[in-house]
Structure 1
Amino acid sequence: MKALTLAVAIALSFPLAAALAAPGNTTSCSTNGICYCTHDYLSDPIRQRVAEIRNLIATQRAQGKAIGYLSVPLTGIGGGLFPVNALVAMEAKERVEQQFGPRDVWVLNPAAPEFSLAADANGADYMWMWTQILEGEGPEGLGAFDFVYFIGPSDFARHFGLDGHADLEKLDTAYDNLVKTKPDLAAKVDKRSFRDYYGVRASVSFSYGSHDEWNIVRTINAKRRAADSAAGFAKQMGVFFDEKPVAPGLLEVPVDVGNAGACKTN
């Protein structure tokens, strides 16, 4: 299990690694035309993982539950730590399920170790998998979820106990406590970078994968609006960021891509 978790951490620490068309890489495109430069050898493992996750979603939906998807920054780029971000993701999943009621809602957490790929899978490989999950099984590409929750600063603040009073000092202390129990973390990120990341940047706004997920959700919602002119707006996926529903105008605004893009020839 630890090895699988490490595989995700390594992969998402290099989100642009799939940009080059090295031998063994292929441009893989989704139903809605979102493409990634992926490893050929992962084609079958990703296909199998997609089938497993779709079965999991179907099982939860058969119980009458609304199905949510969690978008979380996992990479350690910029001062973050994968173990911390994965823990925040788990806490956010539990909180959202408790908010709506675990009898009626289930949230898919992509940071869960059971969804890991091989150790050298990169961000594009993972996003190729999650794009297929988000778009759903049918040829229409209208999505498999009822809502998506994008993790924001409040989720991280709750984890660290930040209350608006000397929060950066609290993060200094959190770093010191982490290093005491896991001294190897000091080699991955220094205290200043850790403090600044979790103090002023920690959210999906600074995540390559989450940028892709935002664009995927926006595309799905646009197709839902177009597919049903009478009730199109009402058929969109709900979108939450930082504990609150996203304002209507933002639902239709694209952002810069993260891992998405065809393989480059040179």
Structure 2
Amino acid sequence: MKAALVLLVLICTLGSVQAEKLTQCTANGFCYCVDRGLSEAVEKNVDTIRKLLAAEKAKGKAVGYLSIPLSTLGGGWFNENAKTAVETKARIEARLGASAAWVLNPGAAEFALPAGATGADYMLMWTKVLEGPDGLSELDFVYFVGPSDYARHFGLTGAGDLERLESYYDEAAKTDEKLKAVGRRAFRDYYGLRASVTFSYGSHDEWNIVRAINQKRREVNANSGLAGQMGIMFDGQPAAPGLYETPVVPGNAGVCRP
């Protein structure tokens, strides 16, 4: 009898959690299983960010988006990813000219959603930002972070990089107790062997989103065609032509499952 009661409570609890989730899709058909209770926060952030983009474009700037792994996952550490995002944004703007270009950093604290938000909740928000109101985007380019961007952050030189990362971890762990939960070897191997958008769920979605935007631009703006596409850079270099039309495995995208 007691076991049956526990099972009933569990079923009711799971049903309640499931009832709080819903599938939301964007202008270009990207769908996510998100928390119903975060809808207002997502829309508020989207509105704020769109106004920010419009203000930068009104200054005559080329406006870009930084795609970077942010989550603590697989040996990665949010704090290091957030630092790398700030540094990479500054480097891109310096390279292009601060008066002529501005980059949106999705890791900025002012764009955070309430506690408990999942990758799908964030990707619904960023997909809406990337696509713009009409699915054609208000952005001029997207920069996908690669290994050399992380190498700059950690001061890797191409000689003893994994050893340097071990030393970096040891020093950082002295003042950051939470870093110890990541693990020294996992940290070393992630940042030495895998750190880039290639291993990010969100960045995989963002690659597919940008590809879909460019396809829509080619179809809608017949006069500009290929020349009207959004610029794409990976690891500091322009993407090869064929990659503009090549999808990747999705990350967080997908409908709610029973």
Return the offset for 1:228: 2.4
Contact 2:31 2:253 in 1 (8 A): yes
Which one of the candidate residues 183, 194, 198 is aligned to 1:201? Answer: 194
SS in 1 for 2:120: helix
- Does residue 162 of structure 2 align to residue 163 of structure 1? no
Structure 1 runs (4+) deviating above 3 angstroms are none
The count of aligned residue pairs is 242
SS in 2 for 1:73: coil
Matches within 5 A, 1:226-265: 226-265=219-258
SS in 2 for 1:32: coil
Name the CA distance, whole Å, in 2 between partners of 1:48 and 1:175.
37
Name the CA distance, whole Å, in 1 between partners of 2:45 and 2:78.
22
Matches within 5 A, 1:44-83: 44-83=40-79
SS in 2 for 1:28: strand
| Equivalent residue number for residue 212 of structure 1 | 205
Name the CA distance, whole Å, in 2 between partners of 1:48 and 1:172.
41
Backbone CA RMSD of aligned residues: 0.9
Matches within 5 A, 1:124-163: 124-138=120-134, 141-163=135-157
SS in 2 for 1:214: helix
Name the CA distance, whole Å, in 1 between partners of 2:179 and 2:127.
31
- Does residue 117 of structure 2 align to residue 116 of structure 1? no
Name the CA distance, whole Å, in 2 between partners of 1:204 and 1:32.
22
TM-score scaled to structure 2, two decimals?
Answer: 0.92
SS in 2 for 1:22: helix
Name the CA distance, whole Å, in 2 between partners of 1:126 and 1:251.
24
Which one of the candidate residues 160, 177, 180 is aligned to 1:183? Answer: 177
| Equivalent residue number for residue 218 of structure 2 | 225
Unaligned runs of at least 5 residues, structure 1: 1-20
SS in 1 for 2:19: coil
Name the CA distance, whole Å, in 2 between partners of 1:195 and 1:249.
33
TM-score scaled to structure 1, two decimals?
Answer: 0.90
- Does residue 92 of structure 2 align to residue 96 of structure 1? yes
Return the offset for 1:231: 2.0
Name the CA distance, whole Å, in 2 between partners of 1:173 and 1:111.
26
Which amino acid letter does the alignment assign opposite residue 232 of structure 2?
A: V
Which amino acid letter does the alignment assign opposite residue 129 of structure 2?
A: I
Identity %: 56
Q: Which has the higher contact order (CA 8 A, sep 6+)?
A: 1
SS in 2 for 1:177: helix
Unaligned runs of at least 5 residues, structure 2: 1-16
Which amino acid letter does the alignment assign opposite residue 146 of structure 1?
A: D
| Equivalent residue number for residue 107 of structure 1 | 103
Name the CA distance, whole Å, in 2 between partners of 1:102 and 1:255.
32
Which amino acid letter does the alignment assign opposite residue 162 of structure 1?
A: L
Name the CA distance, whole Å, in 2 between partners of 1:183 and 1:230.
56
Return the offset for 1:229: 2.7
Contact 2:27 2:133 in 1 (8 A): no
Name the CA distance, whole Å, in 1 between partners of 2:201 and 2:142.
17
Return the offset for 1:34: 0.4
Bigger radius of gyration, 1 or 2?
Answer: 2
